[in-house]
Amino acid sequence: MASITLKDLVKAYGDTEVLHHVEGEISDGEFIVVVGPSGCGKSTLLRMVAGLETVTSGTICIGDKVVNQLEPADRDIAMVFQNYALYPHMSVRENMAYGLKIRKISKDEIARRVEEAADILELRPYLERKPRQLSGGQRQRVAMGRAIVRNPQVFLFDEPLSNLDAKLRVQMRLEIRKLQQRLGVTSIYVTHDQVEAMTLGDRLMVLNGGYVEQFGTPIELYDRPATTFVAGFIGSPAMNFLPATVSAGMATLGNGARLANAGAANGAVTLGIRPEHLLQDDAGPVRVTVELVEQLGANSLLHGKLEGTDIEMVVSQPGHMSAAAGTVMGFVPANGALHLFHAETGKRIEP
C-alpha cells in the first residue's frame, strides 16, 4: 500500500508537450479515475507512473520513494491493459504465475497465491485453459488476477473494460470496485467514460489537452465544476451553456431574458445550467422552443433552442411529458443551480 505523488510532471515527445505540469497527491488506498477525451494524455500519464514511458521533467513518488528512474518491475505496481495482453501460449495459471516465477518465489507460495486469486475472481474452473479458450469477461478477470497475485502497492488500469459489452461492463465495474475496496490497494484507473469515472472513483482527475482541469470527488466535480470543460464533461445529459452579461446580481441572456441570483460576477460570462436543474414554470425566465421530446420512462428529455436564439438546450423533467414541436415552454433554474464561468477563460466564478 502506498501513496503516490505527482510533482510538476511534464511529458514531451520531441518538441510537442503532451502533458503539462501535472500535480496530484493520491493517498494510500484511494481509487483515482483519470478521465478525459481521446488523446488528452490519460494513457501517457498512467504509463509514466508504470515506468513504461520516461519522465521528461518532474517527479513521481510511490510511497516516499522517487521512482522516475526505476524499471517497471521495481516499482511494485501491477497494470491491467485494455487488450489484457495475456500471454497466449500460457495457461491461465501460468499467466498469473509468470511474474512470481521471475521473482523466484517458491512454487508452493505461487500455487497458493494463484489459487487464492482464482477463488476471488471465480476463475478456478479455467486455470488450465489458454486465454483463447476464454470469453472476453473471463480474460479480463485473468488480467485482474495477474495483477492481484503480485500483491502490488499500486494497481494501474488503462480502460480495462472498453472491450466488453455494455452489460458486462457494468458488472465488471462493480467487481473492480469491490475488489479494490477489499484489497485496499491504491489504484489509478483511466477511462474516457464519465459514467464509469463517476461510479468508480473516490476522486476524479479530469484531463483536457494535457492539462489537469480539476481534481476532486465526483460530487465536487458535479456541484462545483472548475471550468466549462469539466462542467460539460461531467453529468449526462451535458450542462447547458448560455452566454450572458451580469451586473448587480442579475444575468441577462442573449434574448433579453433576465435571471436573478447570478452572484458576484460582473460583465460577460458563460452561464451554466444542468438539464435536470431547470424546473417547469410557465412564467419562468428561461423560455425554450421545443424541437423534440425523448421519453425515457423515468424522465423525459426535451431538446430545443433558447427562444429567439440559436442556442441548443436540453431540459430533463421527471416523469412523462409531451410537447408539440414549436411550442415555447418556460423554466426557472432551481435554487443555487446557476454556474458562472468566465466568458473567455472558461474558469469558474464563485458566487
Partner 1 sequence: MVENRPVLNVITHLVLIIGIVIVALPIWITFVASTHDAVRMTQAPIPMLPGTHFWENFSQTLLGSGLSGTETAPVWRMLLNSLTMALMIALGKIAISLISAFAIVYFKFPFRMLFFWLIFVTLMLPVEVRILPTFEVVADLGMLNSYWGLSIPLIASATATFMFRQVFLTIPDEMLESARIDGAGPLRFFWDILIPLSRTNIAALFVILFIYGWNQYLWPLLITTDTDMTTIVMSIKQMLEAAEQSPQWNIIMMTALLAMLPPVFVVVAMQKLFVQGLTETDK
Ligand X SMILES: Nc1ncnc2c1ncn2[C@@H]1O[C@H](COP(=O)(O)OP(=O)(O)OP(=O)(O)O)[C@@H](O)[C@H]1O
43 binds Mg ion (CB under 5 A): yes
**Which of Mg ion, ligand X, partner 1, none does residue 69 bind (CB under 5 to 8 Å by kind)?**
none
Site string for partner 1, 141-180 (x = CB under 8 A): -----x----------------------------------
What is the Cα Rg of the chain in Å? Answer: 24
43 binds ligand X (CB under 6 A): yes
- Residue 19 burial by CB count (10 A; 0-12/13-18/19+): exposed, middle or buried? buried
141, 150, 169, 192: which one binds ligand X (CB under 6 A): 192
**How many whole angstroms separate alpha carbon 157 and alpha carbon 85?**
12
Interacting residues of 310 by C-beta distance below 8 A, sequence separation 6+? none
Is residue 107 within 8 A of residue 51, CB to CB? The reply is: no
Cα torsion angle, 103, 108, 114, 116, sign = negative
88, 297, 318, 326: which one binds partner 1 (CB under 8 A): 88
Shortest gap between Cβ of 79 and partner 1 (angstroms)? 5
Task: Write the DSSP symbol of residue 298.
Answer: S
**Which of partner 1, Mg ion, ligand X, none does residue 87 bind (CB under 5 to 8 Å by kind)?**
partner 1
Site string for ligand X, 7-26 (x = CB under 6 A): ------x----x--------
Q: Which stretch binds Mg ion (CB under 5 A): 43-51, 292-300, 308-316, 332-340?
A: 43-51
52 binds partner 1 (CB under 8 A): yes
Closest by Cα among 321, 337, 287, 293 to 307: 287
**How many whole angstroms separate alpha carbon 295 and alpha carbon 297?**
6
107 binds partner 1 (CB under 8 A): no
**Which of Mg ion, ligand X, partner 1, none does residue 102 bind (CB under 5 to 8 Å by kind)?**
partner 1
